[in-house]
Amino acid sequence: MKQLTLFDLEPLSMEDSNRKSARSSNKQNGARWFVPPDIVVATVELMGAIDLDPNSNSKSLPNVPAKQYFTAEDNGLQRPWGPKRRIFLNPPPSRTTEAWINKVCNEYEAGNISEAVVLVRAEVDSEWWQRLTAYPVCFIHRKLRFGGRGQRVAYALAVAYLGPNLAGFAEAFNELGTIYVPFKRKALPTVPQIKQHGRYILSVNYSACYLTIANPTWDARNLSQDQEWLRRNILDVPGILPSRYSAISKSAEGTAKLVFSFKKGEGESVVRQIEALLEGPRTRPKKPEAPKAARSRPEPAKPAQTKTAKPGKKVAAKGKRR
């Protein structure tokens, strides 16, 4: 009995085999090799040209119009990218992404390249993302097409810009997404900052949010009018915490200092106002004196009253009769 074949298989030619292998490679690496045209156009608009693509798909048929290319065979991670080149980088979505991000950041921070545009997946929970977002980032809104057949990707994309032209980056990429600029908070000193204003010594600890004021003339045994005036006026400064967070600290050597706490993030404003108090004119009120008893003044003597003659009557002059 003759067995029937389920499929009529024909041997593949070498050309068909190569074509099939190429399609399989493009399907697997489409997001890596075929950069969306919108990204390429915006990159050229921003930088004027692309000097180097260090992770290109091909030197003969490149997807990105650059002056020079490094392919996988060139191992762009081990090659220098400078000097002063404009870079476009689309790192492969794999475990080596972190190495590519570190490479482009190191090259830019060392001054070897002048600008760089980096197209990546928006993997915000990755370690390399934290370093890349030290620079401006555009989160892409649209589903861009990758690959030779224009297939859409199912993950979020972002473009980071390493360079001095922030306005140009926003102008070139604003239609593709939203631009985010990192907020670099001013680092607070970890050791107390000590300043002298006349006889006053002001010590500020910005990280611990407190300050002290000392004066060598203050006596720990007695609260002076100067201390009381400062304490009352400093408690009125916006940002200073209420009186339960302030105190008068007394040392064993007999010195005293005022201690105040302030709200986090308001240290600089608080210090400016306190320095104005320490350097301002001394218009401090003196201790009111007890009212003095009023002295009784003698009443002035009343003038003697003289009798006046009524009209029509004559008053006889006093004296001896003749």
**C-alpha atoms less than 13 angstroms from C-alpha of 233 in its C-beta half-sphere:** 17
Q: Are 146 and 153 in contact (CB under 8 A)?
A: yes
Number of domains forming the structure of the chain: 2
- Distance in angstroms (rounded) separating the CA atoms of residues 212 and 194: 9
Angle formed at CA 171 by CA 43 and CA 49, multiple of 5 degrees:
25
Which one of 126, 147, 180 terminates a domain?
A: 180
The pLDDT, as a whole number, for residue 308 is: 57
Q: Is residue 306 part of a domain?
A: no
Residue 55 has pLDDT above 90, yes or no: yes
Give the whole-number percent of the chain exceeding pLDDT 70. 72
Lowest mean pLDDT among 20-29, 102-111, 282-291, 298-307: 20-29
Whether residues 166 and 57 fall in one domain:
yes
Q: How many C-beta atoms surround the C-beta of residue 61 within 10 A? A: 7
The pLDDT, as a whole number, for residue 7 is: 35
Whether residues 34 and 164 fall in one domain:
yes
Alpha-carbon distances, residue 14 vs 11, 21, 23, 24, 213 (angstroms): 10, 11, 14, 15, 88
Lowest mean pLDDT among 23-32, 71-80, 207-216, 235-244: 23-32
**What is the arrangement of strands in the sheet containing 113-121, beginning at the earlier edge strand?**
66-69, 50-53, 85-89, 113-121, 157-162, 137-140, 177-180
Domain containing 142 — which CATH number?
3.40.50
Domain containing 218 — which CATH number?
3.30.1360
Where in the chain does DSSP place strands (E)? 50-53, 66-69, 85-89, 113-121, 137-140, 145-146, 151-152, 157-162, 177-180, 193-197, 200-205, 210-214, 247-250, 256-261
User: By C-alpha distance, which of 125, 109, 108, 126 is closest to 117?
Assistant: 108
pLDDT tens profile 213-235: 999 888 878 888 888 899 999 99
Both ends of the chain: CA-CA distance in Å?
201
Which one of 180, 214, 239 terminates a domain?
A: 180
Domain of 213, in residue numbers: 193-279
Whether residues 114 and 33 fall in one domain:
yes
Whether residues 60 and 168 fall in one domain:
yes
Q: Which residues contact 31 (CB under 8 A, 6 or more apart)?
A: 93, 146, 147, 153
The pLDDT, as a whole number, for residue 311 is: 58
The pLDDT, as a whole number, for residue 184 is: 73
pLDDT tens profile 121-170: 999 999 999 999 999 999 998 777 665 555 666 688 999 999 999 999 99
Whether residues 255 and 149 fall in one domain:
no
Which one of 149, 180, 211 terminates a domain?
A: 180
Q: Are 44 and 173 in contact (CB under 8 A)?
A: no
Q: Is residue 232 part of a domain?
A: yes
User: By C-alpha distance, which of 121, 144, 117 is closest to 38?
Assistant: 144
Whether residues 241 and 109 fall in one domain:
no
- Distance in angstroms (rounded) separating the CA atoms of residues 141 and 124: 16
Q: Is residue 12 part of a domain?
A: no
pLDDT tens profile 245-267: 788 888 777 778 999 999 988 99
Average pLDDT, the chain: 80
Whether residues 123 and 54 fall in one domain:
yes
The pLDDT, as a whole number, for residue 238 is: 94
The pLDDT, as a whole number, for residue 31 is: 39
Q: Which residues contact 76 (CB under 8 A, 6 or more apart)?
A: 54, 55, 70, 103
Q: Are 118 and 133 in contact (CB under 8 A)?
A: no
Which amino acid makes up residue 252?
Answer: A
Provide the β-strand partners of residue 159: 119, 138
pTM listed for this prediction: 0.53
The pLDDT, as a whole number, for residue 143 is: 74
Provide the β-strand partners of residue 69: 53
Helix (H) or strand (E) holding 103: helix 97-109
The pLDDT, as a whole number, for residue 152 is: 66
**C-alpha atoms less than 13 angstroms from C-alpha of 36 in its C-beta half-sphere:** 19
Whether residues 209 and 155 fall in one domain:
no
Q: Is residue 204 part of a domain?
A: yes
- Distance in angstroms (rounded) separating the CA atoms of residues 83 and 187: 32
pLDDT tens profile 72-90: 899 999 999 999 999 999 9
